[in-house]
Structures are given as structure tokens and as C-alpha cells.
Amino acid sequence: MLKKLADALEVSLDYLIGSTNMVIDKKMLYRLEVLGSISKEERERILMVMDSLLRDAQMTDAHKKLAS
């Protein structure tokens, strides 16, 4: 029953029972599953690109906050 509720709300079971504050939607869960199923080399390459993009996004947010 909890699984059905979590699926309907598009959150993880951990989030639903209060074990985490991170909401993972179905698209993110799918992406994590794909990352888990590909070769280590491909996964590392993808994560390196993601890390770079996330750093850029954080810097952009920081600059916006400083400018306001």
C-alpha cells in the first residue's frame, strides 16, 4: 500500500516515511537505473559531465544572489 502511495505521489518510500528529505521523481529513478546498468567507463564519463554542469549551475546561482 505504501509503495502505491509513493508511486502516486511520485516520491520514494524513504521520503514518504520521513527517512530522507530528497524527492526523487520517476524520471530521476529511471535515470539512476540506467546509470546502474551501463558500463563503469560510460557511467564515469556521464557523471563527470553532470558534475561539471552542476558546478556551473551552482556558480550561476551564487552570482545571481551576489548581484541582488
* pLDDT class of 23 with cuts at 50, 70, 90: low
**pLDDT per position as a tens digit, 30-49:** 888 899 999 999 999 999 99
Domain residues of the chain, as ranges?
1-37, 39-68
* Of 21-25, 38-42, 50-54, minimum mean pLDDT range: 21-25
C-alpha cell at 39: 558500463
Identify the CA nearest to 16 among candidates 5, 30, 28, 27: 5
Give the per-residue pLDDT at 3. Answer: 87
Q: Are 25 and 32 in contact (CB under 8 A)?
A: no
Q: What is the pLDDT of residue 38?
A: 95
Task: Output the pLDDT for position 62.
Answer: 86
pTM metric for this prediction: 0.59
